[in-house]
Structure 1
Amino acid sequence: MTTFYDPSPAELHHLRRCVDLARTALDDGDEPFGSLLVDAEGRVLFEDRNRVKDGDATRHPEFEIARWAAEHQTPAERAASTVYTSGEHCPMCAAAHGWVGLGRIVYATSSEQLSQWLAEWDVPAGPVAALPIPAVVPGLDVAGPVAELSGEVRALHARLQGR
C-alpha cells in the first residue's frame, strides 16, 4: 500500500514544473522524466529532462543535476539543496546524488508505482532493479509520492507505452 506525501505549496509548485519537464521530454520523443535542483533559499538553480532517446541511457535529469551540482556548488550548498523530480530516482541517479552529497529528494511518483504501471501494461522490466532511494542512499531525507500528481504522471507513461 502506497503512503502518499502531502507537499507544501512551494514543493507542489516545483513538482508541477518537473511534470511539465517530463511532458516536454515525452513531446520530444523521450521518456517522461523531469527534475529541478533548488537551493536552500528556494531558487531553482538547474533543471533538466530525460535525454535518453539517442542511445545514452545515462542521460537522466537527476544524474545531470548531480554533475552540475558537483561542478557549481560547494559541499555545504549541495547538502542544503533539494532535488525535485517527477519520478523517484533510479539506482544510478540515487548513487550519483549520494556520491556528490546532495540533500533532500522530493518526488511526484515512486519507482514502485512505475513498476506496477509497467507490469499492468505488460512492459518487460528494465536491465536495472527498481530500488527505492533509501536502499541505495541510506539515511537520505526523501519524500513522495504525491497523490495529486500520480494520475498525470501515469498518463505520461501510458502515452509513452501507446496506451
Structure 2
Amino acid sequence: MNETDLRHLRRAVELAAEGLAAGDEPFGAVLVGPDGGVLFEDHNHVGGGDATQHPEFAIARWSATHLTPEERAAATVYTSTEHCPMCATAHGWVGLGRVVYASSSAQLGTWLGGLDLPPLPIRPLPITDLVPGAVVEGPVAPLDEEVRALHLRYHSIPRD
C-alpha cells in the first residue's frame, strides 16, 4: 500500500459520500490503469430500485467494453467496501486485476448486524471465496472507520 493506493482509495470513499448525499447507499469505486490514471469512477445508484446498480459492477461492464483483457488484468479497482458476491463474480468474469478496499464485507456485516435491519438477500462473502487467486488488499484503517460512519448515517435516515 503506497501513497498512490491511498489517494485512489480516499477517492472511492469520497464517491461513497457523494452517493450518500445523492440519497443512495454509500458505496464508491475507482478503476485505475497500470499508469496510475483514473479510467472510470462511480458511486451506488440503487436508490431508483435497481439493486444491481453497484459501482463495482459498472466498472466490470465498462472495462469489458473499453479495455483489452491485458489492460483489465493490469488495472486496479479501489472501492469503499469489499465487493458483494455479484460484483466479485463480475470482476472475475471480466478478468480485472487487483482490488483494494477500505472496509471489508465482514466489517459491513458486523456494522449492519448491530442495527435493526432486515437480513440481506445474499450472503456477504470475501472476494477470494468467489474469485480464487484474486489479489486483494484491505481493510485499510482509518478509512474503514470513515466508511462505517457513512453506513451508520445512511441507516439512520428515515425512509418511506
The aligned amino acid for 1:70 is A
Q: Which residue of 2 aligns with 1:100?
A: 94
Coordinate RMSD, CA, aligned:
0.9
**Counterpart selection for 1:30 from 20, 24, 30:** 24
Matched, 1:145 2:157: no
Map residues 32-47 of structure 1 onto 2, 5 A cutoff. Answer: 32-47=26-41
Q: CA deviation at 1:123?
A: 2.0
Deviates more, 1:119-128 or 1:134-143: 119-128
Matched, 1:21 2:15: yes
Structure 2 CA distance, aligned partners of 1:105 and 1:15?
A: 10
Q: Which residue of 1 aligns with 2:75?
A: 81
Q: CA deviation at 1:122?
A: 2.6
Give secondary structure in 2 for the equivalent of 1:48.
Answer: strand
The aligned amino acid for 1:106 is V
Give secondary structure in 2 for the equivalent of 1:134.
Answer: helix
Percentage of pairs with the same residue: 62
Q: Which residue of 2 aligns with 1:56?
A: 50
Give secondary structure in 2 for the equivalent of 1:53.
Answer: helix
Structure 1: segments with no counterpart, 5+ residues: 1-6
Structure 2: segments with no counterpart, 5+ residues: none
Map residues 122-161 of structure 1 onto 2, 5 A cutoff. Answer: 122-161=116-155
The aligned amino acid for 1:154 is R
Structure 1 segments of 4 or more deviating over 3 A?
Answer: none
Give deviations 1:49-70, integer Å, cap 9, x for gaps. Answer: 0000001000000000000000
Q: CA deviation at 1:100?
A: 0.3
Structure 2 CA distance, aligned partners of 1:123 and 1:116?
A: 12
Q: CA deviation at 1:112?
A: 0.2
Tell me if the contact between 1:118 and 1:124 (Cα under 8 Å) persists in the aligned partners: no
Q: CA deviation at 1:150?
A: 1.4
Give the TM-score of the pair, scaled to structure 2.
Answer: 0.96
Give secondary structure in 2 for the equivalent of 1:146.
Answer: coil
Structure 2 CA distance, aligned partners of 1:53 and 1:122?
A: 20
Give the TM-score of the pair, scaled to structure 1.
Answer: 0.94
Q: Which residue of 1 aligns with 2:63?
A: 69
Q: CA deviation at 1:8?
A: 1.2
